[in-house]
Structure 1
Amino acid sequence: MKAESIKIYTRRVTSANKSELIVIIYDIIEENLTLAEEALANGDKESFSNELKQAVSFVKELLVSLDMNYEVSKNLASLYIYVSRCLNFALVSGKKEEIEAARKVIIKLGDSFREVAKSDNSKPVMENTQQVYAGMTYGKGLSLDETLLDAESMDRGFRA
């Protein structure tokens, strides 16, 4: 994953509630699959392998975080196992078709969780994080500038 993507996901995580965290995981998996396909097309086996392994680890994270007391969790577990198998087969075979099969499931599940996240009004998981405001500045050329607010507060981050 690219450094800029890591920064974007980090910012999203700091202000996300539980539902939004799941959406972020789906977004990361989708990006991993895209980067893996690009690496495969470019013949970069190392990047291909790294991106697929990272996608598999996120799918496993989704799988282990399920509450199996609910019927929907059992259905999701089956889908996550299927996606994991597809990605592992792609890792071994180098076939793009396996990645596409996994991507179809991930996109549909991600879209479903995005809809759920819209109605989730719970608080962010991390409390006391700095708010980031971004906008266009006036000066030499227009550039995106970020400003962190509440800089005097050193008591920020996750509270267990």
Structure 2
Amino acid sequence: MAVNNPFQAYQQNSVTTASPGDLTLMLYNGSLKFIAIAKKAIQEGNVEVKNTNIQKTQNIVNELMVTLNMDLEVSKNMMALYEYMNRRLIEANIKSDIAILEEVEGYLVEFRDTWKQVIQMNRQKQHTGGQA
């Protein structure tokens, strides 16, 4: 099978070979990309692009909710925050409100940055034999 677009092949390989932690990081980054596109669409008055990208962000937040291990107390808190973000995204979509998108964006940036730190700490532990 010939690959017409090497970048697309690279992207596909990066997703299929990523660890679960890296996939979660990709989800956070994707949600932030879609919020940025939605904010720009609101400024430009492009309702269709705004709606599509807010819905993409909602789909990612829903996926993050599904992956939570509800046996952990922190997951219960994360679930409540994800549910709140989803409600705010719906509101931002209805009202075309950039400020609400920026609020959700702030949460997602914090979660992404924290998740990055967790991945880095886990990798350090693996490389030092668990003595980090």
- Structure 2 length as normaliser, TM-score? 0.82
Indicate the larger mover: 12-21 or 39-48: 12-21
The aligned amino acid for 2:75 is S
The aligned amino acid for 2:29 is D
Q: Which residue of 1 aligns with 2:52?
A: 50
The aligned amino acid for 2:54 is L
Cα deviation, 1:69-112, whole Å, max 9, x if unaligned, reads 00010111011111111111001111111101100100000000
Contact 1:19 1:120 in 2 (8 A): no
Q: Describe the shift of the 1:11–1:27 C-alpha distance in structure 2 as closer, same or farther (beyond 3 A).
A: farther
The aligned amino acid for 1:29 is S
Q: Describe the shift of the 1:120–1:10 C-alpha distance in structure 2 as closer, same or farther (beyond 3 A).
A: farther
Question: Which one has the bigger helix percentage?
Answer: 2
Q: Distance in 2 between matches of 1:100 and 1:35?
A: 12
| Number of aligned positions between the proteins | 118
Shift of 1:42: 1.0
The aligned amino acid for 1:95 is D
Counterpart selection for 2:14 from 3, 12, 15: 12
Query: Highest CA radius of gyration, 1 or 2?
Result: 1
Task: Determine what percentage of the aligned residue pairs are the same residue.
Answer: 25
Q: Which residue of 2 aligns with 1:96?
A: 98
Instruction: Give the unaligned 5+ runs of structure 1.
Output: 123-160
Q: Which residue of 2 aligns with 1:107?
A: 109
Q: Which residue of 1 aligns with 2:130?
A: none
Counterpart selection for 2:75 from 62, 73, 76: 73
Q: Hey, which bits of structure 1, 4+ residues long, moved more than 2 A?
A: 6-12, 119-122
2:43 equivalent to 1:41:
yes
Q: CA RMSD in A?
A: 1.9
Instruction: Give the unaligned 5+ runs of structure 2.
Output: 127-132
Q: Which residue of 2 aligns with 1:63?
A: 65
Indicate the larger mover: 71-80 or 12-21: 12-21
Counterpart selection for 2:32 from 30, 33, 46: 30
